Amino acid sequence: MEEKFKEIPISAQSEAALTRTGVQGPGKTEKAEHSYSLSHTLLYSMLACIVLVVGIVALLLCRAQARYSEQTILTGHRDKEQAYVETVLENIRSWQSKTLDTIHYVSQAEMFRLFAKDYQEAARTNPSDSSDLNSMGEELDYLRDLLRDTAQRRGWHGARIVTENGDDLVAERESQPLSAGKKAVVAQAGSRRGVSYSSLYEENGHLFLDIVDPLYEVLSMDEPKIVGYLLLTLKMDNVVLDFFSGVHLKDDTQAYLLTPGPTETACIGIENGKAALLTKKVQIPQALPFDRRLSQASTQEVFSLGARIAFPLWYAVMECRSDVIDGEINGSAREIYGLGVLGSLSIALFLAMVVGTWIVRHKAKEEQRCIGGLVHAIECALDGTDAKFRYLQGRSHKVANLSTRLGKQMHLSSQAMENMQLAARLSQVGKIFVPRDIMIKRGLLTDEERRQVQLAPYHAYNVLKGVLPGRVARIVYQMGGKVVDDPETGANHELTVKEMLPEARILLVANDFCAMVSQRGNRPPLPMADARRKLSERDLYDKTVVAAINTLSDAEIKLLLDTPGDAPTTAA
């Protein structure tokens, strides 16, 4: 027949006593567990929210830093390209100044201007009579030789003086007629009444440039008329290379010179250390700020910057491949976001460690409270109303108070003090296994009865070693000063002071001293002086602990033994 068990209600007095020691009744335990679970849920939720907020903030900061890094990289490339362009333009201005000085030296020479005026007037007034023109043949030969010598000294590829229509006035014999492009440059110089440039062009594997400077009549009272045009052809291969001197180009950087003329625009670049015509009919914008655009010489995307000089309207353009700059930007962004992830993980790990530490401490406190409740329950059992334990009532508290005072005086660590207090409160648990008649017997005990009493620490160790930390169980076992060799016969041997744990040495002295000065079943309590003398006479006790207890006065010891709880915080 199955037996039904009923739950035994806990009295109000018992529940109040258990509550004071940290042990709760069934209803309160369920509430505490629910509150504990709820607090953990809230804690984990708060931790998840904090990690989420940290991640969002880190993402925003990384994005802002990545944008700042991108602008820094682009600004660095812009400044570098701007410096390159300024160097090229400065070289062009220097070349232009020297070249124009030389050209003006020839175009302003009176002999060339006077000859051009006289020749054209003779041809205009007597177009059918060539005698006047033939009479100027000797002067023409002289000017032709002079212009040729000047061109050779100046390093010009060719020089001639022509009319507005492109006819030769002073030129080498059997010179080729002017091309349409050269005539366009002459016409442009006439319309603007100043120097005119062609675009750079390529012939026979070399680059050339045409420059036209008008020749004005001499001593004109009104606005001077143009009587001819000085047409120079310059070889530009080395000149263009000089333009880019001082510019250190890398594999990802290219430099170009855009030269618009009357009919076309040329794009000149550097290939294999030589200046070369890359393309024609390039569209020149009004401005070339630093930006992403197509290359001047290909369909590849680049970051380019260009600047121009006012006259001639030439552009110097610097380009850097966009994939190179994008690689730098992406690399910097990866580094920034990587550091952001590491930082976020570090913060999250730190928060997890903080929360984990709090949980571990909270669980440790809960476990400590459970152990405290268990210890109190055992103490209640030992201090019960059964006459078997009437001589043990309050004994554990007395031992705990006295040993705590001695431990403070001997400067034990906080952990050692905690272990010793716990062992002291459980020091009498082995007496539960001693037969009742022995515990209440008056008079001397027999050898068998004494053996059973001496087995109490052994029984206590077996009970506590699986419930409490192993060191606490060992302290309870060693505080008797003996180790049981054979439980059947009760054979044992005494421990030396060196073999005992420091906490056990103190508890041994405190327990035996409390036993001496307390009422026992077979004798009255001893005076404290006799108890001190007995401690000093036996080699079993640690002399350091005995010396420590002898420094305490009888009144202080009496106060410790009469206090029903933890030892008062008396200064050591």
- DSSP string computed for 528-556: HHHHHHHHHH-TTS-HHHHHHHHTS-HHH
Name the residue ranges covered by the structural domains of the chain: 77-323, 383-562
For residue 24, how many C-alpha atoms fall within 13 Å in the half-sphere facing its CB? Answer: 10
Question: Is residue 285 over pLDDT 80?
Answer: no
Give every CB contact of residue 380 below 8 A, 6+ residues apart in sequence: 17
Q: Is residue 387 very low, low, confident or very high in pLDDT (cuts 50, 70, 90)? A: very low
pLDDT, greater one: 349 or 389: 349
Average pLDDT for 536-555: 89
CB 215 within 8 A of CB 226: yes
Name the strands in the sheet holding 315-321, side by side, starting at the edge strand that comes first in the sequence.
274-280, 265-271, 253-260, 315-321, 301-308, 288-294
Average pLDDT for 419-447: 79
Q: What is the pLDDT of residue 380?
A: 62
Q: Which of 180-184, 193-197, 277-281, 326-330 has the lowest mean pLDDT?
A: 277-281
At 225-276, the pLDDT tens digits run 898 999 999 999 999 988 888 777 777 788 888 888 777 788 888 888 888 8
CATH code given to domain 383-562? 1.10.3210.10
Question: Is residue 560 over pLDDT 60?
Answer: yes
Q: What is the pLDDT of residue 383?
A: 56
pLDDT, greater one: 478 or 385: 478
Q: What is the pLDDT of residue 370?
A: 63
CB 402 within 8 A of CB 560: yes
Average pLDDT for 300-304: 91
Q: Which of 30-39, 279-288, 343-352 has the lowest mean pLDDT?
A: 30-39
* Coil, strand or helix at 7: coil
Q: What is the pLDDT of residue 244?
A: 85
Q: What is the pLDDT of residue 211?
A: 94
The CA distance from 208 to 189, in Å, is 18
Element (H, E) at 170: strand 168-170
Give me 66's structure tokens. 């990545």
For residue 522, how many C-alpha atoms fall within 13 Å in the half-sphere facing its CB? Answer: 10
Highest mean pLDDT among 491-500, 536-545, 555-564: 536-545
The CA distance from 395 to 380, in Å, is 12
The CA distance from 190 to 212, in Å, is 9
At 344-371, the pLDDT tens digits run 888 878 877 887 777 777 776 766 666 6
Q: What is the pLDDT of residue 128?
A: 55
Structural class in CATH, domain 77-323: alpha beta
- DSSP string computed for 216-264: EPSS-SSSPPEEEEEEEEEE-HHHHHHHTTT----TTEEEEEEEE-SS-
pLDDT, greater one: 524 or 136: 524
> Percentage of the chain surpassing pLDDT 90?
19
Q: Which of 244-248, 386-390, 440-444 has the lowest mean pLDDT?
A: 386-390
Question: Is residue 325 over pLDDT 60?
Answer: yes
Number of CB atoms found within 10 A of residue 469's CB: 15
The CA distance from 87 to 81, in Å, is 10
Question: If we measure between CA atoms, which residue out of 309, 266, 261 comes closest to residue 91?
Answer: 309
